Structure 1
Amino acid sequence: MKRREFVQTATFAAASLLALPAIAAAGKRQKGVGLQLYTLRDTIGKDPKGVLTRVASFGYKELEAYSYKDGQIFGMPYADFNTFVKGLGMQVTSGHYGLDMIKGDTWKKAVDDAKKNGQKHMVVPYIGAEQRKTLDDYKRIIADLNAAGEVCNQGGIRFGYHNHAFEFDKIDGQVPYDLMLKELDPKKVSMEMDIYWVVNAGYDPIQYFEKYPGRFEQWHVKDMDKADRNKNADVGTGSIDWKAIFAKAKVSGLQYYYVEQESYPGAPIDSAAASAKYLKTIL
């Protein structure tokens, strides 16, 4: 999977009302530290059971998967993968799915598999550069996301979209991320905020939480290197104020959060361990 790189008062009020159930759910959310398995992409495909066993030993409770295709994940049937995860005291609460998967029978099967295995969320994590050159491109994608969200609703799964920094690059004077928040139906599509990428783009996550309460049901938690804003740091060692951000979890609508790291000071597995250790000291 390829990875890179905020209307009128009445509209805001309506969106806020729609978000109230998510805000309420946040107060009941599970407290375990989560991990997006993409953090360990260099090793998990080679030894999924060994990597997952180490992840569990760090105290992770929720996992967000990736690479699902045709009922398989990391070379295992999805049901077998899920059973192994549960045996380690963890659960798969979310998964990432390519934009090319969210239509037709392919999407219906993915939703069915997620539902059968107790997964709560399904998320599109990326839009290719060739697919997002104009605002009209974004509007077409928004329509597709709303449609995919309706299929998820019918299957009892919550659908979402995960940002990078490019959604904040203005097109014709408009921030595409703001367009998405305006036109994505909150009943069908939640937002998984990658907090690092929002900060990297020069915006304030907390301002978004307060402007669009309840819309950000999942987060990606990765820190920003103090010397180079384009590099990640182990959570708690960088420049992002995680205590201030987690203090706004309820207004955000947060249900699950996942450590996700794309660059590392050492071995990725050591970063996963260090980030979990830090988060358990502040939450």
Structure 2
Amino acid sequence: MKRREFVQTASFAAVGLLSLPSFLAAGKATKNIGLQLYTLRDVIGQDPKGVLTKVAAYGYKDLEAYSYKDGKIFGMDYAEFNKFVNGLGMRVTSGHYGLDQIKGDTWQKAVDDAKKNGQEFMVMPYIKEPDRQTIDAYKTICADLNKAGEVCTNAGLRFQYHNHAFEFQPIEGQVPYDVMLKELDPKKVGMELDLFWTINAGQDPLALFAKHPGLFEQWHVKDMTKTDRNKNANVGTGSIDFKLIFAQAKQAGLKRWYVEHDTFPGTSSLESAEADAKYLKTII
């Protein structure tokens, strides 16, 4: 059996019948259930406060935001948004920002807003296809990420890059993700590991943790259906063994983690978010 297949299918007994709480207690990872709000992109823009109220009722505590622009998010000032979230017993601990936002005054304002509102992480989540055609293009982006990370570091925030599967597809005889790990300064840029896309690309998260300990401070927790590797299952019903992966939380450097869906097994993003939280409560 290949190692990546073992990650997806290993039994609970394979990790010594230990419980997830003991894994997290061994390191600094939070046991708060987190949610990347991109999961709710089909509904949150229409009624952000109503949707956030439901999210809080499901038991989520940490939120990762997206769509911030020029001090606004979902039609609200960023401070107003955070105040509302805090009033529901949640915190915005991280946020996603596009490649077009991480330079100059635009970036400095975003960093200032994040700092003022108690955010801990800022993440660049995606490289559009036209911008990633060559290894030199990746290196240029890495130089920009290092500069953006320095601004975050100076403000007391942690900057990260979030992967998909394409970073593991060779270009010009090199694997872009390997190039990025060499080019990025770990003092300025960490990694938010999307477990689904990493496994989708045929990679082993445990091998990455072992090779680069402490670098993967945030994760996206999304499951994979047993019939289609490109579709998400509700967490706990698919093929990824999260207990096995969370057993290495300390080695990875995990601090915060977020449920995310790119696709939904049912018809409602809220339905999936609720099901994910319900399952995670049983193991943390």
TM-score normalised according to structure 1 size: 0.90
Amino acid at match of 1:232: N
How is 1:85-104 mapped onto 2 (pairs within 5 angstroms)?
85-104=85-104
- Cα 1:199/1:98, change in 2 over 3 Å: same
Q: Which residue of 2 aligns with 1:277?
A: 278
Please give the alpha-carbon distance, in whole angstroms, between the structure 2 residues aligned to 1:46 and 1:26.
41
How is 1:1-283 mapped onto 2 (pairs within 5 angstroms)?
27-266=27-266, 267-283=268-284
* Range 39-48 or range 271-280, more displaced: 271-280
Amino acid at match of 2:123: V
Q: Deviations over 1:86-128 (max 9, x none)?
A: 0000000000000000000000000000000000000000001
TM-score normalised according to structure 2 size: 0.90
Q: Deviations over 1:110-167 (max 9, x none)?
A: 0000000000000000001000000000000000000000011111110000000000
Instruction: State the shift of 1:26 in Å.
Output: 8.3
Please give the alpha-carbon distance, in whole angstroms, between the structure 2 residues aligned to 1:269 and 1:189.
32
Please give the alpha-carbon distance, in whole angstroms, between the structure 2 residues aligned to 1:28 and 1:128.
33
Instruction: State the shift of 1:29 in Å.
Output: 3.4
Please give the alpha-carbon distance, in whole angstroms, between the structure 2 residues aligned to 1:187 and 1:101.
21
* Runs of 4 or more consecutive aligned structure 1 residues displaced over 2 Å after TM superposition: 25-30
Q: Which runs of 5+ in 2 are unaligned?
A: 1-24
The answer to whether the 8 A contact 2:29-2:249 is kept is no
Aligned residues: 260
Instruction: State the shift of 1:31 in Å.
Output: 1.4
Please give the alpha-carbon distance, in whole angstroms, between the structure 1 residues aligned to 2:29 and 2:228.
33
The answer to whether the 8 A contact 1:190-1:215 is kept is yes
Give RMSD over aligned pairs. Answer: 1.3
Please give the alpha-carbon distance, in whole angstroms, between the structure 1 residues aligned to 2:111 and 2:75.
19
Amino acid at match of 1:247: A
Please give the alpha-carbon distance, in whole angstroms, between the structure 2 residues aligned to 1:189 and 1:28.
19
Q: What SS does structure 2 have at the residue aligned with 1:282?
A: coil
Please give the alpha-carbon distance, in whole angstroms, between the structure 1 residues aligned to 2:28 and 2:131.
37
Please give the alpha-carbon distance, in whole angstroms, between the structure 2 residues aligned to 1:183 and 1:103.
18
Instruction: State the shift of 1:184 in Å.
Output: 0.6
Q: Which residue of 1 aligns with 2:4?
A: none
Aligned-residue identity in percent = 71
Amino acid at match of 2:245: I
